[in-house]
């Protein structure tokens, strides 16, 4: 039984593409056959995060317009053999693909893959409607910030209107120190407003930026806290019950070190 | 000048009634005003009814033209709802035919809107950016953070009740109040109603 998941958020810059890449790699590491579809036509990034930009020959538009079969456009990941990317075009725009095209494509691809993960563009216009059309599960990514939560709320409403009831939440870029001081929305505030099932809390981690620039998703970096959070998300997606991990409080030495670095 | 034109919500549209002694010119001016103010109930496609024989045919024609300009239908006979074509009946959320209260069994999220001619009862939260507009009362079994408008046809006795009442804006009939900028979450149910021309909030037990 293959599953089609769309990763969406409404607001831009909250980490949809990062989440897509990490969940994709994580599911592939568990031996699943995974296809990632980038639908952010004109602003494609997913290939960069996976370090596959130089291997792209054909794109989503070539496939939906019938120029090539989809298996010709798929790019295999260099490290994970069971992970494939279907990149989109950088020169066309969102009107080049319509919802029916994507539904048909996913139907065709279903037989070959365990998971199809669709990276949705920001916004609630045509690109969004196309991206969600084929999905049987949606993951809404948000940040502990009032505008991101507001947009996530709107997106959940839009998903409901499109009869997508299986919606999960990932809260990205949490800064535990700020939450503790009460300067940032905490999980309780976010759950109060969004009231949907949360499958991930990802702390803000410098390793994510490094990983993005290097083209290797952070989930493969064993010692990063964000990587661990993504591993847990993948576990929960596979049906395991994993408790939410409390980020360690800043220890005495870390505080001392910070104090010193502030002084000198 | 008090209300020259009174509007009442029907299943099939809106019914107009007029203050005693109001001249046709006054009525015309008041309606024009209401139409141009973008009143929330003058939706395109709505049928507006007046009592048969209240105005002469010539005056009816004038009103008809005025409503047509705003995309609405005008009729001087109140027909049986079943006889009206479906497309002319304004579409509403699923409403039980036996009750006047609209029941909403979900969270109303940002950008969504609930409209009802009668009262509304919501089992769930009303999130910021959501709107609830009702001709009668609004009862929210949850947290209200959106905008609410009770008594939208001018009923000043309407009220808004919520388990945690912290709306962005609250309107009852034509009186509007904005929540304070540093609103704290109340720990008991509250009711907003009009007293002495102002919206006041009291604790209620339930």
User: Rounded to 5 degrees, what are φ and ψ at A127?
Assistant: -55, -40
Looking at residue B206, its pLDDT comes to 77
Instruction: Say what angle helices A206-214 and A225-237 make with each other, to 10 degrees.
Output: 80
Beta bridge partners of A83: A34
Q: Mean pLDDT per 10-residue run, chain A (264 residues)?
A: 93 95 97 96 94 94 95 95 96 93 96 96 95 96 95 96 95 93 92 94 95 93 93 95 74 68 67
Looking at residue B63, its pLDDT comes to 85
The burial class, CB within 10 Å (0-12 / 13-18 / 19+), for B20 is: exposed
| Cα A113 from Cα A106, distance rounded (Å) | 10
Q: Chain B residues with CB inside 8 Å of A154's CB?
A: 109-111, 129
For chains A and B, CB pairs below 8 A equal 28
* Inter-residue contact A38 to A119 (CB < 8 Å): yes
Average pLDDT score over chain B: 83
Looking at residue B88, its pLDDT comes to 47
Looking at residue A263, its pLDDT comes to 67
| ipTM at complex level | 0.75
Contact B128 A157 (CB under 8 A): no
Any B CB within 8 A of A192 CB? yes
Nearest Cα residue to A152 out of A193, A98, A203, A108? A193
Looking at residue A262, its pLDDT comes to 67
The three-state secondary structure class of A149 is helix
A123 to chain B, closest Cα gap in Å = 14
For residue B80, pLDDT over 60 is answered with no
Q: Chain B residues with CB inside 8 Å of A157's CB?
A: 109-112
Any B CB within 8 A of A153 CB? yes
Looking at residue B123, its pLDDT comes to 96
Contact A193 B129 (CB under 8 A): no
Looking at residue B25, its pLDDT comes to 87
* Inter-residue contact A6 to A120 (CB < 8 Å): yes
Looking at residue B7, its pLDDT comes to 80
Give the residue, B29 or A62, on which the prediction is more confident.
A62
Residue A104 C-alpha from the chain's centroid: 22
| Cα B205 from Cα B202, distance rounded (Å) | 10
Residue A154: closest C-alpha in chain B: B110
pLDDT band at B185 (very low <50, low <70, confident <90, very high): confident
Looking at residue A226, its pLDDT comes to 95
Distances (CA, A) of B52 to A14, B59, B75, B76, B124: 60, 12, 9, 5, 43
pLDDT band at B84 (very low <50, low <70, confident <90, very high): very low
For residue B93, pLDDT over 60 is answered with no
Tell me the fold of B102-203: Pectate Lyase C-like (2.160.20)
Give me the mean pLDDT over the B129-139 stretch. 94
Any B CB within 8 A of A156 CB? yes
Pick the CATH number of A3-263 from 3.40.50.1820, 3.40.50.300, 1.10.3720.10, 3.50.50.60: 3.40.50.300
Any B CB within 8 A of A193 CB? yes
B183 to chain A, closest Cα gap in Å = 15
Looking at residue B95, its pLDDT comes to 41
Looking at residue B76, its pLDDT comes to 80
| Cα B148 from Cα B169, distance rounded (Å) | 7
Q: Across the interface, which of B107, B111, B129 has its CB nearest the CB of A195?
A: B107
Can you give the residue ranges of every domain in chain A?
Answer: 3-263
Distances (CA, A) of A193 to A122, A137, A183: 21, 20, 18
Contact B112 A193 (CB under 8 A): no
How is residue B41 written in tokens?
A: 């109930």
B1 to chain A, closest Cα gap in Å = 42
Give the residue, B158 or B185, on which the prediction is more confident.
B158
* Inter-residue contact B161 to B189 (CB < 8 Å): yes
Give the residue, B68 or B107, on which the prediction is more confident.
B107
* pLDDT tens, position by position, B115-128: 999 999 999 999 99
Contact B109 A192 (CB under 8 A): no
Contact A154 B129 (CB under 8 A): yes
* Inter-residue contact B19 to B6 (CB < 8 Å): yes
The three-state secondary structure class of A187 is helix
B159-192 residues labelled b (16+ CB within 10 A) or e (exposed): bbbbbbbbbbebbbbeeebeeeeeeeeeeebbbb
Looking at residue B147, its pLDDT comes to 95
* pLDDT tens, position by position, B30-73: 888 888 877 767 777 778 888 877 888 888 888 888 888 887 88
Looking at residue A264, its pLDDT comes to 63
* Inter-residue contact A40 to A34 (CB < 8 Å): no
* Inter-residue contact B190 to B161 (CB < 8 Å): yes
Looking at residue B99, its pLDDT comes to 46
* pLDDT tens, position by position, B10-25: 777 788 888 888 888 8
H-helix segments, chain B: 24-36, 57-69
Q: Across the interface, which of B110, B112, B143 has its CB nearest the CB of A150?
A: B110
A104 CB contacts (<8 Å, ≥6 apart)? Answer: none
For residue B180, pLDDT over 70 is answered with yes
Looking at residue B98, its pLDDT comes to 39
- Strand (E) or helix (H) holding B149: strand B147-150
Contact B109 A195 (CB under 8 A): no
HSE-CB at A153 with a 13 A cutoff on CA atoms is: 28
B73 to chain A, closest Cα gap in Å = 30
Contact A153 B143 (CB under 8 A): no
* Inter-residue contact A25 to A19 (CB < 8 Å): no
Q: Chain B residues with CB inside 8 Å of A150's CB?
A: 110, 128-129
For residue B94, pLDDT over 80 is answered with no
Beta bridge partners of B108: B126
∠ CA A199-A204-A210, nearest 5°, is 115
Contact B109 A153 (CB under 8 A): yes
Sign for the CA dihedral angle at A180, A183, A184, A186 comes to positive
């Amino acid at each position: 039984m293959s599953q089609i998941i769309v990763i969406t958020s409404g607001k831009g810059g909250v980490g949809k593409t990062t989440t897509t890449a990490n969940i994709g790699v994580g599911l592939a590491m568990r031996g699943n056959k995974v296809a990632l579809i980038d639908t952010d036509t004109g602003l494609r990034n997913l290939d960069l995060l996976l370090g596959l930009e130089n291997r792209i020959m054909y794109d989503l538009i070539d496939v939906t317009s019938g120029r090539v079969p989809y298996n010709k456009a798929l790019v295999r990941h260099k490290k994970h053999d069971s992970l494939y990317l279907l990149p989109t075009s950088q020169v066309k725009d969102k009107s080049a693909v319509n919802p029916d095209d994507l539904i048909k494509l996913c139907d065709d691809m279903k037989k070959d893959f365990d998971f199809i993960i669709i990276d949705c563009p920001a916004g609630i216009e045509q690109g969004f409607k196309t991206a969600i059309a084929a999905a049987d599960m949606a993951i809404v990514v948000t940040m502990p910030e009032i505008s991101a939560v507001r947009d996530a709320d709107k997106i959940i409403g839009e998903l409901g209107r499109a009869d997508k009831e299986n919606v999960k939440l990932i809260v990205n870029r949490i800064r535990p120190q700020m939450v503790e001081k009460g300067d940032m929305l905490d999980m309780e505030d976010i759950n109060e407003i969004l009231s949907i099932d949360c499958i991930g809390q990802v702390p803000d981690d410098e390793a994510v930026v490094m990983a993005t620039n290097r083209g290797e998703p952070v989930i493969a970096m064993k010692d990063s806290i964000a990587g661990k959070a993504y591993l847990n998300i993948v576990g929960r997606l596979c049906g395991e019950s994993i408790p939410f991990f409390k980020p360690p409080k800043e220890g005495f030495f870390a505080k001392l070190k910070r104090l010193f670095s502030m002084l000198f | 000048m008090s209300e020259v034109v009174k509007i009442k919500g029907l299943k099939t549209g809106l019914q107009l009634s007029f203050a005693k002694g109001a001249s046709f010119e006054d009525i015309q001016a008041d309606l024009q005003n209401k139409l141009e103010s973008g009143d929330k109930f003058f939706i395109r496609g709505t049928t507006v009814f007046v009592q048969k024989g209240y105005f002469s045919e010539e005056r009816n024609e004038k009103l008809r033209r005025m409503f047509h300009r705003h995309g609405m239908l005008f009729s001087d006979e109140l027909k049986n709802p079943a006889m009206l074509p479906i497309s002319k009946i304004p579409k509403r959320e699923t409403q039980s035919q036996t009750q006047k209260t609209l029941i909403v069994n979900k969270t109303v999220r940002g950008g969504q809107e609930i409209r009802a001619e009668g009262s509304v009862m919501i089992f769930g939260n009303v999130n910021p950016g959501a709107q609830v507009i009702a001709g009668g009362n609004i009862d929210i079994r949850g947290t209200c953070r959106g905008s609410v408008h009770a008594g939208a046809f001018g009923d000043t006795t309407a009220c808004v009740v919520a388990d945690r009442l912290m709306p962005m804006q609250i309107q009852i009939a034509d009186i509007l109040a904005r929540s304070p900028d540093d609103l704290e979450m109340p720990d008991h149910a509250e009711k907003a109603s009009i007293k002495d021309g102002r919206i006041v909030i009291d604790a209620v037990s339930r």
